[in-house]
Structure 1
């Protein structure tokens, strides 16, 4: 099991997918890729022979087929299924971000390119690099996972919906009037981390770190901090408002 801190500052524990289950999913996907390659080659051969194409067309067809099979298949399947190729679906695996959220095209593309170039094929020694990097990683991450900021977890159910942070009722009105466009993702991540670790901090550390974050957040908001409230109330109100806007 590994603990993930979601974008809503909620801790989730999900089981990490290790090499045996990932290898099974990979082999199933490989069979599908071989079938896709055979279909593309068969169709292209018929068309090129009928057109009496020259060698350049055959070379282009080979490159397009290779890119489609090795890159387009994993990228498209993981993008449209939010982290589950056919093989991963069969073995109950899912690719998630480091905060346990669903991946998007950017993550899938990074994993797909790294898989084709580094982890498995061109430089990967038919998967040797992926196996070695997974064994050396606490969360069994291959190179593509490290570059994309993703982890493969073992779950046969939908990811749990994280509970939203709740603004203190006495600060909800103040937070509703804020323009949060000046709060960067990095600053919001620092607030989430502070709220997540709050119970593990000493009272002095809570106040010191919280005050620094409140100053930074209110500077970004160009709004004075409400007086008479502990830092975690103010930060919780800002984070809750940001989540509310993000979810529409």
Structure 2
């Protein structure tokens, strides 16, 4: 295992891909490229020999074809798939930046150019890429060092889905949320934050939660009716988003019931001493007992919530200080003191 530090100073544990696995992925890519090159060169040779094309034109076309297949394949694949080629897909590898984020076109281009002209260039007696990869603790070749990338094994890094829920007194608010502007990328970032909540250092955890809550609140509406901490806000938004997706899938593919008893209603109140409620809103709130009557907009429940659960509400260390906030009342990252949510 190795560590990557994100831009928010969050430490991620990743498994680095080593030389044998990367070599096998490269071999798969080279075989595929060789097959495509053989087919294209055969077609070009037949076309050129059938006409009266000059030898110089034939050599130029073949040279361009080789460059496009050898270099263009890697650049296009790694750009479109955010760090994967067909060989890497087969073996579960992925190229990421040093901070764990996805690579872009410039990273793929730099890696490919150094791969062809430096790391495994035929004019070098020894492959510098192999030597650099064996000597680097993260298995980087020269192209990775210049581009600021690293190859990881993503198949061996399963991440448990965080327990998403909505506190009981916020169900109506969650159902009224406008989520059309919430992108998949931002939702996945919030879900990863909740999944790694207990692994993060307190300072980085508060800062990252602050930043994610601010970004999510900018693309959702209306604002929460009561003060709520960042993890609970993110969990409520993601739970409602998941509920709507499940409903949408259920409408497309309705389940066929064949048993002797009618299917249970997932939103009905549980009965019996051992009944366990289902659905994203059913789990009990980890923030203590909630008021039985709806809380009005702008009001605060009496007394602080009881601590407990994976995301306990922080206790302000000092009175609230005015800070720059958005329309939903969430402070911009770094504009308010850590742990002071309102």
Map of 1:17 onto structure 2: 17
Map of 2:257 onto structure 1: none
Distance in structure 2 (CA, Å) of the matches to 1:90 and 1:115: 20
Q: Deviations over 1:61-112 (max 9, x none)?
A: 1221221122111111111111110111111110000001111111101111
Q: Tell me the SS of whatever aligns to 1:140.
A: coil
Quickly say closer, same or farther: Cα 1:138–1:158, change in 2 above 3 A.
closer
Map of 1:140 onto structure 2: 139
Distance in structure 1 (CA, Å) of the matches to 2:155 and 2:145: 23
Distance in structure 1 (CA, Å) of the matches to 2:75 and 2:9: 29
Map of 1:223 onto structure 2: none
158-167 vs 86-95, which moves further: 158-167
Map of 1:65 onto structure 2: 65
Q: Deviations over 1:190-215 (max 9, x none)?
A: xxxxxxxxxxxxxxxxxxxxxxxxxx
Q: Tell me the SS of whatever aligns to 2:96.
A: strand
Q: Tell me the SS of whatever aligns to 2:209.
A: coil
Distance in structure 1 (CA, Å) of the matches to 2:110 and 2:158: 22
Q: Rg larger in 1 or in 2?
A: 2
Distance in structure 2 (CA, Å) of the matches to 1:72 and 1:158: 30
Deviation at 1:7, TM superposition (A): 2.9
Map of 2:149 onto structure 1: 150
Deviation at 1:238, TM superposition (A): 5.1
Distance in structure 2 (CA, Å) of the matches to 1:117 and 1:159: 36
Q: Tell me the SS of whatever aligns to 1:166.
A: helix
Q: Unaligned 5+ residue runs, structure 2?
A: 160-188, 195-207, 219-319, 322-330, 336-342
Q: CA RMSD in A?
A: 3.0
Map of 2:28 onto structure 1: 28
Deviation at 1:49, TM superposition (A): 1.7
Map of 1:129 onto structure 2: 128
Map of 1:77 onto structure 2: 77
Quickly say closer, same or farther: Cα 1:115–1:5, change in 2 above 3 A.
same
Distance in structure 1 (CA, Å) of the matches to 2:74 and 2:56: 27
Using the size of structure 1 for normalisation, the TM-score is 0.64
The answer on whether the counterparts of 1:84 and 1:95 sit within 8 Å (CA) in structure 2 is yes
The answer on whether the counterparts of 1:83 and 1:96 sit within 8 Å (CA) in structure 2 is yes
Using the size of structure 2 for normalisation, the TM-score is 0.47
The answer on whether the counterparts of 2:75 and 2:105 sit within 8 Å (CA) in structure 1 is yes
Q: Unaligned 5+ residue runs, structure 1?
A: 177-227, 230-236, 242-248
What pairs with 1:195-210 in structure 2 (closer than 5 Å)?
none
What pairs with 1:86-235 in structure 2 (closer than 5 Å)?
86-125=86-125, 128-156=127-155, 161=189, 162-163=192-193, 165-167=208-210
Quickly say closer, same or farther: Cα 1:123–1:110, change in 2 above 3 A.
farther
Distance in structure 2 (CA, Å) of the matches to 1:38 and 1:96: 31
Deviation at 1:159, TM superposition (A): 8.7
Quickly say closer, same or farther: Cα 1:47–1:167, change in 2 above 3 A.
same
Distance in structure 2 (CA, Å) of the matches to 1:5 and 1:19: 23
Distance in structure 2 (CA, Å) of the matches to 1:73 and 1:141: 21
> Relative contact order, CA 8 A, sep 6+: which one is greater?
1
Distance in structure 2 (CA, Å) of the matches to 1:159 and 1:65: 40
Deviation at 1:240, TM superposition (A): 6.6
Distance in structure 1 (CA, Å) of the matches to 2:50 and 2:158: 50
Q: Tell me the number of residue pairs that the alignment of Structure 1 and Structure 2 aligns.
A: 180
